Chains A and B, each alone.
Chain A
């Protein structure tokens, strides 16, 4: 997957959780939980959505790496 594809997948996953959010206004390094007001359940659903789209097992220890757009893109590009 290219970086652009990963980014659009992340947007899609976040769009399902915070449909009203303007994702283009979120800076790459911003904490998504703060920027989009995601609670623990929302964040869990975000990880589940990424898991379902990529088929990757995402260990809980890696969750902190998914907290920003930049972090999530880098993590999924690995």
Chain B
């Protein structure tokens, strides 16, 4: 079970997209997991043959818990660590033993830990889950335990693989109440642990908007750009110049990002927010970035984000759009070390060559982790963004 952000503790497996014997390669989507951020597609970061699906559909699995085993297709496999990407997560709430073979059943005397899915299944089958010995992670009673108990009661051979009973995929969006909890957990941690410092800078967007207008005039409707794409690209290129703000912080130590993967903050209709990564934002041409942004927004709202997108941002950019407030001062998304914010673009007075003119202006802000950098570095980032936006043709 990959950690899809600093705030995630567990996810529920809702769909397997592979079965034992299937060949998989790096990047394949193998499962769908329900999290506080909605249904997330989990990719695999390994190559081989699926030898065992350890977790039945409907099971809640803590971060770091084993989902499946993948081998080279030869003889029975040695247990391997969870093959999906499990990004660093400090402090890990689950024992690393999660990847070891299943522990023997732990006799339960009282206060049995029962996964919600197991409780539901138990109710359906008329089994008392409190009376069962759990074999799930940390001895929790899982759906498999419940189904095995029901099968024993019927004096039948062990239950058929629960996978056969897989329900149709639940490709639902997100639960706003759960989303609020996820945001509360992440932002609470940011406010407790990260000593933020804040800077803001006003930037003239005349050149950028004129460039977009000219570009769009020659493009068919679906290929047109929004100003946000220029703000995103300029931020990513500025981070190349100021790499101290691109990366993560673990126990106070800065880990530079292995690329500039900007988490693009997307507000969800009905409330809530996700900031999935656009990989290598700095290296992508503008039309490609625009396509990536539109695709992300669509998938964020329909519940089709991928695990790697939620786990890998090295920095966050938030843009309030045309109808938003003038300024946004962000809160860092742990374990990142900076968030760049763009307010709405509005026509305001600006001094050009000693004269006041109406210009389209945007306020760009930075909130950064003072354990890693000082305001001097932060200011360099904001002035780099300003400079880059004056030459939009080079973005």
> A interface vs B, CB < 8 Å?
18, 20, 33-34, 37, 39-41, 44-45, 47-48, 51-52, 57-60
Q: Are B217 and A59 in contact (CB under 8 A)?
A: yes
Q: Are B267 and A48 in contact (CB under 8 A)?
A: no
Q: Are B217 and A60 in contact (CB under 8 A)?
A: yes
Query: Of the candidates A33, A37, A39, A51, which one forms a contact with B221 in the assembled complex, judged by CB atoms under 8 Å apart?
Result: A51
A60's nearest neighbour on chain B, judged by CB, is B216
Query: Of the candidates B213, B220, B322, which one forms a contact with A39 in the assembled complex, judged by CB atoms under 8 Å apart?
Result: B322
- Measured in the bound complex, the distance between the Cα atoms of B223 and A58 in whole Å is 12
> B interface vs A, CB < 8 Å?
213, 216-217, 220-222, 224, 226-228, 267, 269-270, 293-294, 297, 321-323
- Measured in the bound complex, the distance between the Cα atoms of B136 and A32 in whole Å is 50
| Residues on the B chain within 8 Å of A18, using CB | 269
- Between-chain CB contacts (< 8 Å), 24 pairs: A37-B269, A39-B267, A39-B321, A39-B322, A40-B226, A40-B227, A40-B228, A40-B321, A40-B322, A41-B228, A41-B294, A41-B297, A41-B321, A44-B224, A44-B226, A44-B294, A45-B294, A47-B221, A48-B221, A51-B221, A51-B222, A57-B220, A57-B221, A60-B224
Interface of A, helix, strand, loop or mixed by DSSP: helix
| Residues on the A chain within 8 Å of B226, using CB | 40-41, 44
Kindly list the 8 A-B residue pairs having the minimum CB-CB distance in the complex, ordered from nearest: A51-B221, A39-B321, A40-B321, A60-B216, A48-B222, A40-B322, A40-B226, A41-B297
Q: How far is the CB of A72 from chain B (nearest CB, A)?
A: 14
| Residues on the A chain within 8 Å of B224, using CB | 44, 60
| Residues on the B chain within 8 Å of A45, using CB | 294
| Residues on the A chain within 8 Å of B267, using CB | 39
- Measured in the bound complex, the distance between the Cα atoms of B293 and A41 in whole Å is 9
Q: Are A20 and B269 in contact (CB under 8 A)?
A: yes
Query: Of the candidates A20, A39, A52, A60, which one forms a contact with B323 in the assembled complex, judged by CB atoms under 8 Å apart?
Result: A39
| Residues on the A chain within 8 Å of B216, using CB | 60
Q: How far is the CB of A76 from chain B (nearest CB, A)?
A: 13
Q: How far is the CB of A44 from chain B (nearest CB, A)?
A: 6
A40-B322, A41-B228 given; 7 more Cβ-contact pairs under 8 Å: A37-B269, A39-B267, A39-B321, A39-B322, A44-B226, A48-B221, A60-B216
A34's nearest neighbour on chain B, judged by CB, is B323
Q: How far is the CB of A13 from chain B (nearest CB, A)?
A: 12
| Residues on the B chain within 8 Å of A52, using CB | 222
A59's nearest neighbour on chain B, judged by CB, is B217
| Residues on the A chain within 8 Å of B293, using CB | 41
B226's nearest neighbour on chain A, judged by CB, is A40
| Residues on the B chain within 8 Å of A59, using CB | 217
